[in-house]
Chains A and B, each alone.
Chain A
Amino acid sequence: MKYAAGIDVGSTQSKAVLIDLARAVVARTLIDTGANVKRAGQRALDNLLKESGIPREQVGFVIGTGYGRYKIEAGDDQVTEISCHARGAQMLFPATRTVIDMGGQDTKAIKVGPDGDVVDFSMNDKCAAGTGRFLAGAADVLGLTLDEIGEISLTGTKPIRLTSVCTVFVESDILSHLAQKQKVEDILAGVHQAIASRTISLVRRVGREEEVTFTGGVARNIGMVRALEEKLDVSVNVSPDSQFTGAIGAALYAMDRVLAGDAEAAAVSDEDTVWVDE
């Protein structure tokens, strides 16, 4: 029982991470989730073991996270991505006290304790406006890829105003700007700033404390990183591993269980029970 694994099953990609007793990452893998979430979890774990050449029985505990977490049969238990992102970010940047996680349908601001625990968190409310999905919509209508828009937005000089950050209306909003011969870079600059200020209000709810770490898929978007830094007026940590943050956090929780397996673990787990949908 020398290892623990974390699997993060997202709506588009699934990630898995293997760590050893020293909590060092020994292997990681990333696959497309595809249509069958159940299998995605298993596939990710299999890949992970194959690449690392470590036999399954050496893995003491597996924790699943992400929206698909309840469908992972390979996992021994589940933890929400909120807890996992906090824990993972704190391992990547030990001094982290605030985590911003921007995903497809959720944006989260998390206040993190010294050992990676969630002190407080805040997410976009019922309305999914201002999430990563909004960027995708903007990219679509401009015929650009998600990777391109960030760079381009940085060249904007006169950021445009948006009526709202409602994803449903981003297309018509942007089209009207184009019709008025606005520059693409200014539109994108406006888009990034709109989402950034929306995100800042989430950060404000939990109370900003340095260091700030930015996780999730959108963290690879340099435009969003800069926009956040500008509004927060502090530099923001972004790890090259940022998309693995959730899986790393899950693996860390799994390792707790491997190491402890004592009262602590008992206090957290109820092995005999299962989640039942109504």
Chain B
Amino acid sequence: MRTTVAEDKDYRGKVHQLSRDIMTDWMTELKDATKSPTPSAYMMISGNCVEILRCFDILPVFPEVNALQLAIRKQSLPYIIKSEEIGYASDNCAYVKADVGYTMCGGVGENGNIPVPDFIVCNFVGCNVYIKWFEHCASMFDVPMIMLDIPFVREDGPSTDDVKYVMTQLKELIAHCEKLTGKKFDIDRLREVLGYSARAERGWSRCKELCKRKPTPFDAYFDSINMMGPINALRGSKVAADFFDQVVEQYEGMVSDGMGVLEDERFRIVFEGPPPYPYYRNFRNLFEAWGAVAVQSTYSTVGGTWEFGFTHDPERPLESIAEQMIIHNLCNRSMIERYAQIQSYVDEYDADALVIHSIKSCRLFSAGQGDMREYFTKDRGVPTLMVESDLEDPRYYAEAQMKNRIDAFFEALTYKRIRGKATA
């Protein structure tokens, strides 16, 4: 059962190019801001409230995006080692280490690519490491850190007190922004921004919807990255909203022409966990080789689970922001809810299997994925493969091991099909 890939396949399509363009513009803005007095603030991706920064024209900076880019360009290791030299352990999140190392090496500030933020908005949504990460940034830059403590959503949903608590903190954030920028908070401006957010969110969930088609027009794991930048970092801008209009057009076109991202779609899989950015294409090839394509992924919902219907509501500005942060993103959900989310993907997107990519860096994702494997193989009868590496640290990717496990998994699935045919 020889595994195959199209030689040097170019995965980039129109959407990749569009995404690249608008993300590059944003990066340019960041670089310019290092030399201009433009106010900027750090914020994390998951369940963020970038809309509030936008309505004060504060430039949002996402350290995760920085770490991600270092990894995918295979530049992360020296920075990781740099921060290990000041005391970070080999077991710490490599996203933090790469970002801190990059900062220490002058990547942030005057001669770097990222401005020193005027303040830090610690949107603590699920990931406890966020708090430490941003504390370290705050101490490196000696700038104020605003804590947005988002109560973890339990199976029985958030209480009214949870929502009240978040609303109060959002108002305190707004007050801080007013003080910093000298601008008065303009609720109508926020409504406008949220309008753009909602438009982008509808586009994004429409795209996800299209992955139910066979063949799927794009890979909901590997290609989703092109849309995650715009939906999470640029959300609330007209640019992002327009981008999604074009993306929807593109993919609907493919669907109506019966075109899929793979010439030969043999296995539809649901992906759990972040990808190994330092070996992004190498890893994708291992699946492509078997005609395996992701029809859904949990990672693409770290910023928001919009495909389940929620969008920001200009009529309920702060309320909907609070709900987005507490309820409608993957990071603030329990493992039990994540299991349910994955199961609904398997059912609604007619997936053949679940693939768990377990990464050492992010325990929010990985801690307990063995139980997830147990649940889906034993309780749900969903063929499940679990492989391990890291999303940022290239030292944890062993290709021979990885390939061996993936090949064996799809050999087994292939064999099942053949027998299915034989007995049919």
Contacts and interface: CB of A to CB of B under 8 A. Distances in A.
Partners in one complex: yes
Interface of A: 67, 77-83, 105-106, 115, 117-121, 123, 125-126, 205-207, 263-264, 267-271, 273-276, 278
Contacts of A77: 1-2
A126 B7 contact: no
Nearest to A272: B4
A267 B418 contact: yes
Given A67-B404, A123-B405, A274 B415 contact: no
Given A80-B404, A82-B404, A205-B370, A267 B421 contact: yes
B420 to A, nearest CB: 11
B3 A275 contact: yes
Nearest to A123: B405
Contact of B2 (A207, A264, A273, A278): A273
A264 B418 contact: yes
A80 B407 contact: yes
10 contacts: A82-B404, A82-B405, A83-B415, A126-B388, A205-B373, A205-B374, A270-B2, A271-B2, A273-B4, A278-B285
Nearest to A76: B2
A83 B408 contact: yes
B377 A267 contact: no
Given A267-B421, A268-B418, A78 B360 contact: no
Nearest to B411: A83
Given A263-B421, A269-B1, A273-B2, 16 more contacts: A81-B404, A82-B405, A115-B419, A117-B412, A118-B408, A118-B412, A120-B377, A126-B360, A126-B398, A206-B377, A207-B378, A271-B2, A275-B289, A276-B285, A278-B279, A278-B285
Contacts of B411: 79-80, 82-83, 118
Contacts of B422: 264
Nearest to A67: B400
Which of B2, B289, B398, B414 counts the most chain A CB atoms within 10 A? Answer: B2
Contacts of B5: 273, 275-276
Contact of A82 (B3, B7, B408): B408
A207 B407 CA distance: 21
A13 to B, nearest CB: 18
Nearest to B283: A278
Contact of B388 (A115, A125, A206, A270): A125
A123 B414 CA distance: 20
B412 A121 contact: yes
Nearest to A278: B282
Nearest to B264: A270
B206 interface: no
A77 B4 CA distance: 11
Given A79-B411, A83-B411, A126-B389, A269 B2 contact: yes
A110 B46 CA distance: 38
A269 B377 CA distance: 27
Contacts of B417: 267
Contact of B415 (A118, A126, A273, A275): A118
Given A268-B418, A270-B4, A278-B285, A121 B388 contact: no
A88 B171 CA distance: 67
A142 to B, nearest CB: 29
B404 A275 contact: no
Nearest to B373: A205
Nearest to A63: B1
Contacts of A206: 377
B339 interface: no
B396 interface: yes
A130 to B, nearest CB: 15
B416 interface: yes
Contact of A268 (B373, B405, B414): B414
A79 B1 contact: yes
Contacts of A81: 404
A206 B386 CA distance: 12
B266 to A, nearest CB: 10
A199 to B, nearest CB: 15
B412 A83 contact: yes
Which of B374, B415, B416 counts the most chain A CB atoms within 10 A? Answer: B415
B287 to A, nearest CB: 13
A267 B289 CA distance: 14
A275 B4 contact: yes
Contacts of A207: 378
Nearest to B400: A67
A102 to B, nearest CB: 15
Nearest to B9: A276
Contact of B408 (A121, A205, A267): A121
Contacts of B363: none
Contacts of A83: 408, 411-412, 415
Nearest to B289: A275
Contacts of A123: 405
Nearest to A82: B408
Given A207-B378, A273-B2, A278 B408 contact: no
Contacts of A115: 419
A117 B2 CA distance: 17
Contacts of B408: 80, 82-83, 118, 121
